[in-house]
């Protein structure tokens, strides 16, 4: 959630810290002992990275209005969710029809949109907790089962019924994930409505002033 700017800044500071330690040690440690400059620089790099990362996390959590523990939790859930999406995407190569592809692609697309929204605004996580803890993991599990059933070489009534049942459940889960997306977008929609109402009121006041001025 820290983004590329924080990443580049952090590693630039790490490099400066490592280079500084290397330079100071190479000047002050004589002879063969000077070889210690390299491991000392490496230690400085990783120590700087750990400290800077902690400071950036703390700063970012304050900026978006959540605690450090909340930030850590949401960040971990986002990483897990991305792993689940990768698992869904891996199912593409296992399907044999357009219908099966759509059955896998639609939950994956919804999941990516929700993850991006929460990554942009971590506070949205609490509006879609069930998506992270239940809906997305279930989608991965069902998709895996679905692709396995579609690859059955010997069709049977049991396989057909299981396939239809899985397809139906996946469809229901897709509807649930669509509701998750709506929940994630709800605050944005409310803000948009407020902005539209304000714009309409301002426009009406401007028209009233023009009418009064024309009279």
| Residue 124: other Cβ atoms inside 10 A | 19
The token pair that represents 163 in the structure block: 């396939």
First to last CA, the chain: 57
Reading the block at residue 139, the tokens are 């989608």
For 88, the enclosing helix (H) or strand (E) is helix 68-89
**Residue 14 banded pLDDT, cuts 50, 70, 90:** confident
Q: Look at 23-32, 74-83, 115-124, 164-173 and tell me which has the smallest mean pLDDT.
A: 23-32
Distance of alpha carbon 184 from its chain centroid, rounded? 13
pLDDT band at 125, cuts 50/70/90? Answer: very high
Helix (H) or strand (E) holding 123: none
Structure tokens at 46: 């990783």
């Amino acid at each position: 959630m820290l983004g590329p700017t924080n990443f580049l800044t952090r590693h630039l500071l790490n490099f400066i810290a490592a280079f500084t330690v290397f330079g100071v040690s190479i000047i002050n440690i004589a002879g063969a002992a000077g070889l210690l400059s390299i491991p000392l620089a490496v230690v400085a790099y990783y120590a700087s990275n750990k400290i800077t990362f902690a400071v950036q996390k703390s700063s970012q959590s304050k900026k978006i209005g959540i605690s450090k523990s909340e930030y850590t939790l949401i960040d971990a859930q986002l990483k897990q969710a991305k792993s689940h999406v990768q698992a869904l995407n891996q199912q593409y190569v296992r399907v044999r029809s357009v219908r099966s592809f759509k059955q896998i692609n639609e939950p994956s697309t919804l999941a990516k949109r929700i993850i991006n929204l929460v990554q942009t605004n971590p506070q949205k996580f609490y509006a879609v907790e069930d998506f992270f803890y239940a809906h997305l993991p279930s989608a991965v599990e069902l998709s895996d089962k679905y692709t396995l059933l579609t690859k059955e070489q010997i069709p049977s009534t049991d396989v057909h019924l299981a396939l239809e049942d899985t397809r139906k459940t996946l469809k229901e889960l897709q509807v649930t994930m669509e509701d998750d997306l709506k929940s994630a977008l709800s605050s944005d929609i409310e803000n948009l409505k407020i902005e539209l109402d304000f714009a309409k009121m301002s426009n009406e006041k401007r028209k009233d002033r023009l009418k009064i001025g024309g009279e």
